[in-house]
Amino acid sequence: MVVVLFDFEGTLVQSMENDPEAVTHFRAKTKEKLLELGVPSDVLGGETRSTLLRNKAVEYVEEHFSKKEAKRFHAEMDDFLKSYELHWANRSRIFLDAIPALRMLKKLGYKMGLVTSTSKEAANRMLSKHGISAFFDVVVTREDVKKLKPHPEGILLALNKMNAQGFFFVGDLIYDSIASKNAGGVSIIVDRITSKKQKFHANYSVKSLKEVPSIVQQLNR
Positions in the chain short of pLDDT 70: 17, 194-200
- Give the per-residue pLDDT at 220: 86
pLDDT of residue 172: 93
**pLDDT for the residue 199:** 58
What's the pLDDT at 198? 59
Is the Cβ–Cβ distance between 6 and 130 less than 8 Å?
A: no
pTM for this entry: 0.94
Per DSSP, the chain holds a count of helices (H) and strands (E) of 9, 8
Give the DSSP letter string of 136-159: -SEEE-GGG-SS-TTSTHHHHHHH
Which of the listed CATH numbers 3.40.50.150, 3.30.590.20, 3.40.50.1000, 3.90.550.10 matches domain 2-14+93-219? 3.40.50.1000
Domain ranges of the chain: 2-14+93-219, 18-91
